[in-house]
Structure 1
Amino acid sequence: MPTQSILIVLLLVQSAFVASQASQLQKYASNPHLFSAQSSSRKSILRLSKPLIRDDGRVYSCLERRFFAFESNGSIAWTVNLKYTCNAGIAPVHGGSRKIYLAAENRVMRINPLNIGTSESAVEVFFDPDPGEETGEIVGLSVSTLSSSVFINVKNRGLFAYRLQGQMLWSAGPVLYQSGYRQGCRKNYKDCYFDSAPVIDQCEASVYISNTEGEVYAMSLGSPHFKWIQDLSALDKSFVISPGNNGRVYVTVPVKALVLALDASTGTVLWQSSIGPLSTTDCAPVIDSNGWISIGSLDGFLYSISPTGVPKKFPKAAPLDFVVQVSPFLDCSGYAVYISQAEMEGKVSHTIGEYTYISALKPKNVVFTLLVPATGTIYWSESYPASGQLPSILKESDLQHFVLDESIILAFITASNIGNRLPCRSTRQKLATSCSQAEPQHVSIYTGDERTILLFLLLETVTLIVLVVVVRFCCIFWRKKKLQSQDLGKFLEKRHFLQLQKKTFDQAITELEQNAAEEAVPNKMLERLDDLVKQKEDIERKLSTTYSLGRDRTKSESLKSLLPLYDGKAKSYSFQEGAEKESDTWADSSRNKKEAESTFFQYMQSAAAAAKAKGKAPIEVGSSSDQETEEEYEGASAYDDEGEARETLHHGSSRSIMRRRRTLSSTN
């Protein structure tokens, strides 16, 4: 009974103390200089939440229902009342236009510093469950300034995407049914939900998140579309996801002490690297503008891994009693990191199976260091006792009223840019540098077995080639059949024969004109020259105008069509619909050729005899080229109604002789 009385008294005293403390906190004005702690007992509970460092050099954090903005030297710039208790385990998020988002109870608050000191409210509720809806714990939130969207993960409800103006874009759960197939939570979909904070990849326009079954999701910023799902449940079911903004997504497995790099486009594991044992409470890595991922380990080293998976350890030889138990911070340039190494009074390491456990006593000293992981250059390092002594720049600040851990002190050292000789850059400049390291991806429109796809493409190609060959053959075959039925062979032979006649006449006329110019010639020779010119003009007329070779036939044969011949500019053929077969055509051509050769030789003999009688040499016609000698032509002789025979010329293998025209009497 006495023991129960003492416990009741202690509880009453504690509740009264907490109530008086709450009333004191509500009396704090917005003026930062009015904030102070009145007793050491109250100081023991004034522990700030995870901090946010912005480009303006200020540090933002919350304490219960108040939100603070600190200058880099530790003095309070301004503070506002939230009306709701903030979540100390979720750091505030920068939302663009100087606005800040943070989780408070089951709501998301938005703070606008520009409204402080004005009639407008500086704090507003951005996300609040509707009355009657199932409330859930806010696991994490993130803001994409490029897409002007806020992403909120609510436990057992799903991921919600909102515009900065407050309109909901979409919501998604860990299970999606698409084309009759279930995506996500393949092993257990009943108790499966998203259990990590959403993180934004600004370069890939993606949001990454994991579920309780060990699956990592990549989703589009603009729609609840699953780009890919990677099942890592074989390693563990709890991860820390970090976007590289360089074409890679980094997944830290604290239990296994592993860091994996996934391809941001496909989710394929590119590489994995083993590191030292990690703290399960705070092991979030940082990725610098060079693409190096850095994470602290309980073995006292900082592990930095290159984009290709090559690890480094800093420092090269750490004392045995050192541990790194807080996440590093990226400096303002984006190329260096600030780390904190705590020296413990004693440290014991236990390895059980695949797991390593670290046990340590209270810390003695803390060493803060600024280094560049890509080169290993150390710009600054300083040690402070763990008894509570602050760096000189923070000694006289408002931070002395709060309980400070390594994470808070490291955040203010980073904001103060202590020992940094690298020029500061804006968030957009850092993002542009990291995004430029991403390699372009060649997206394939096919999915499935690569060998099957190649065989299918090969079959398609062969089929197209066969179709082209068949169509081409059919067209040529049809055209040949059509031309053969139109007596094309006879037409071409007659036309070729006319061209040979014209060439022979040209040569004969040229030689006669030369002889007439050199010496006196009889009138009969001049008449012969005149006849040759007229016959040449007649042949030219036949070649240059619409002419039917059927005129050379007897009048009893009917002419059904005219043949447009070649005029030197364009070709146009129109064929007669003769009733003769192809075999008859070639037989007539052979017979006419033999008759023409017989008549031609008789004509040559008569001309030679006449030349001897007159004492003159016969007129020679220049030989044609060897190519023309090999060509065949029809040497047929045609007779007109007046009984005169058109002269027949023969193109010999060596030379041709033009002789005078003579009249033949018809034998018919």
Structure 2
Amino acid sequence: MHLDYKCNLGTAPVHGGHGKIYLVADNRILVISYGNIGTSEPEAEVFFGPGPGHVAEAEIIGLSVSTLGSTIYINVKNRGLFAYQSRGHLLWSVEPVLYQFGYRQGCRKNLTNCYFASVPLLDHCEGSIYISNTEGELYCLSVRSRYFRWIQDFSSLDKNFTITLGNNGHLYVTVPAKALVLALDVFSGNVLWQRSIGPLSKVDSAPVVDSNGWISIGSLDGFLYSFSPTGVLKKFSRMNAENSIIQVGPFLDCSGFAIYSSQIEMEGKISHTIGEYTVVSAIQPKAALFTMLVPATGSIYWSESYPGHVSTLFSKSDLSQFVMNEEILLAFLAASKIGTPLQCRTIGQKLASSCSQERTKLVSVYTGNERAIVLFLLFESALLLILIGLVRFCCTFWAKEKLKDQGLGSFLDNRSSLPLNQL
């Protein structure tokens, strides 16, 4: 369909459920209602922003849609995060700074030009929103209100990082400038582990997390880095890593357990270090290898090279009519389910599986010898009983001595010596 607005190429359309798609165009958010394909023409209208003929001055950084709660979350530069119902009613809004109980939360080091800078990331399992600001702080908010659950400051590493939602109660932060991946606890924001990876190709490089909880990201050093939920590393390379690079992030297959990745063989590659940074230079690509694998087991289900069988596959499809790049090819492979023997799962099934893995586990506060701890507790209890007995004895003895000092002792002795018949 034809729109009277210019779409923002840096922001992908978002599926909103119930036959609706939301997209950013000319600093507006348009909602396209497509109904039943083939039976009715799709309709487009402005959901957020001024109508036709008016200038939209506010820059929209990103949006997310909760299909469960029918809520749209919009990040507007220098204005804050807005939560709208699908009918257009404003639920709440919040800026990156809140004053609660006399304390300032957010933008702790710098208030000037501090605003939310990332696309809001929804956690349907925990009912949370994750978003970062321009000063390197990561926020966790409740989806129901303008309430900060926690704020974590990563400015000591870098102010630019990407956020990836995991499972098992994990949230992942990737710092491309430092080539670091950090795993966070979604309940507290505390860092669970931190690992180094190879140099990344883009400042917005982000990994993917499969249904086994493994996080995977490609590097310019030619390796695919995969980490288990506890931080155990596996490195994969199907070509000679010295002459190859991985510059595009992997894609999940339809089951959620496997990933599609690509490795590019270069005619020449040189790596050198400048301070804390690694710079990779290459001449031109010679070939590409596309692979489908399961990081948790290392099993490879499919692998083809380009040029080769993959090139003939693409030439017979509609993709031959478009200018292609590596990322589009990977997305096409993942969507077409090429080479997968795994059973595809729906978004609802994947979400249910992910949420079931986030059940809180009881953690023992004792990590030493349990028998020694029990004996120590028994000894401590016995000592406490002895102290209670001593205190009671001292109180009784002190009361008797006080009676003697008041001359009541002789009175009681004389009273007891009186004959009974005198009464």
TM-score normalized with structure 1 length: 0.53
Q: Which residue of 1 aligns with 2:380?
A: none
Within 5 Å, give how 1:643-662 maps onto structure 2. Answer: none
Consecutive unaligned residues in structure 1, runs of 5 or more: 1-79, 444-461, 478-580, 593-635, 639-668
Alpha-carbon distance in structure 2 between the residues aligned to 1:237 and 1:155: 17
Partner of 1:433 in structure 2?
353
In terms of fraction of residues, the more strand-rich structure is 2
Q: Deviations over 1:601-649 (max 9, x none)?
A: xxxxxxxxxxxxxxxxxxxxxxxxxxxxxxxxxxx799xxxxxxxxxxx
**Contact kept? 1:289, 1:431, Cα under 8 Å:** no
AA matched with 2:170:
R
Q: Match for 2:200: what amino acid?
A: L
Q: 1:587 aligns with which of 392, 398, 417?
A: 417
Question: Which residue number in structure 2 is paired with residue 105 of structure 1?
Answer: 26
SS in 1 for 2:73: strand
Q: Which of 414, 423, 439 does residue 343 from structure 2 map onto?
A: 423
Letter in 2 for 1:82: L
Cα drift, residue 179 of structure 1:
1.4
Q: CA deviation at 1:290?
A: 1.0
Shift of 1:164: 2.0
Q: Aligned partners of 1:339, 1:120: CA distance in 2, in Å?
A: 37
Tell me, yes or no, if the aligned pair for 2:97 and 2:106 is still in contact at 8 Å.
yes
Q: Does 1:224 align with 2:224?
A: no
Q: In the aligned structure 2, how far is the partner of 1:93 from the partner of 1:302?
A: 28
Equivalences for residues 366-377 of structure 1 within 5 A: 366-377=288-299
Instruction: Pick from 253, 256, 261 the counterpart of residue 331 of structure 1.
Output: 253
1:511-548 CA distances to partner (integer Å, 9 max, x unpaired)?
Answer: xxxxxxxxxxxxxxxxxxxxxxxxxxxxxxxxxxxxxx
Q: Which has the higher helix share?
A: 1
> Aligned partner of 2:417: which letter?
A
Aligned partner of 2:134 among 212, 219, 227: 212
What is the TM-score when the length of structure 2 is the normalising length? 0.83
In the alignment, structure 2 segments of 5+ residues that lack a partner are 364-383, 400-410
In structure 2, what is the equivalent of residue 76 of structure 1? Answer: none
Amino acid at match of 1:381: S
RMSD over aligned Cα, in angstroms? 3.1
SS in 2 for 1:81: coil
Partner of 1:147: 69
Structure 1 contact 204–245 (Cα < 8 Å) conserved:
no
Q: How many Å separate the matches in 1 of 2:82 and 2:184?
A: 24
**Alignment partner, residue 43 of structure 2:** 122
Residues 229/282 of structure 1: CA separation in 2 closer, same or farther (3 Å cut): closer
Question: CA deviation digits over 1:259-309, x for unaligned, max 9?
Answer: 011111111111110000001155221111111111111111111111111
Q: Which amino acid aligns with 2:102?
A: G
1:324-360 deviations in Å (ceiling 9; x for gaps): 1112111111111111112222222121111001122
Over 3 Å counting, the alpha-carbon distance change for 1:247 and 1:308 in structure 2 is: same
SS at match of 1:429: helix
Supply the distance in 2 between the matched residues of 1:245 and 1:405 (Cα, whole angstroms): 30
Report SS of the residue matched to 1:95: strand
What is the distance in 2 between the residues matched to 1:300 and 1:279?
11
> How far 1:399 sits from its partner (Å)?
2.1
Q: Distance in 1 between matches of 2:287 and 2:19?
A: 37
- In structure 2, relative to structure 1, the CA distance for the partners of 1:82 and 1:364 (3 Å cut) is farther
Q: Tell me how far 1:187 sits from its aligned partner.
A: 1.3
Q: Which moved more, 1:251-260 or 1:173-182?
A: 173-182
CA displacement at 1:251 relative to structure 2: 0.4
Structure 2 CA distance for aligned equivalents of residues 343 and 227 of structure 1: 46
Task: State the distance in 2 between where 1:246 and 1:126 align.
Answer: 35
Q: Quote the Cα distance in structure 2 between the aligned partners of 1:116 and 1:125.
A: 21
CA offset digits 1:166-201 (Å, max 9, x no partner) = 211111111111112111111111111111111111
Match of 1:159 among 58, 81, 103: 81
Aligned to 1:487: none
Change (3 A) 1:371 1:117: closer
% identity of equivalent residues: 60
Establish whether residue 93 from structure 1 lines up as the match of residue 14 from structure 2: yes
> 1:103 is matched by which residue type in structure 2?
V
SS in 2 for 1:320: helix
How far did 1:585 drift? Answer: 6.1
Using the alignment, how far apart are the partners of 1:372 and 1:324 within structure 2? Answer: 17
Matched-pair contact (CA < 8 Å) for 2:262–2:290:
yes
Written as runs of structure 1 = structure 2, the 5 A alignment for 1:554-573 is none
Q: Could you say which residue in structure 2 is the equivalent of 1:313?
A: 235
Counterpart of 1:357? 279
Distance in 2, matches of 1:221 and 1:246, equals 20
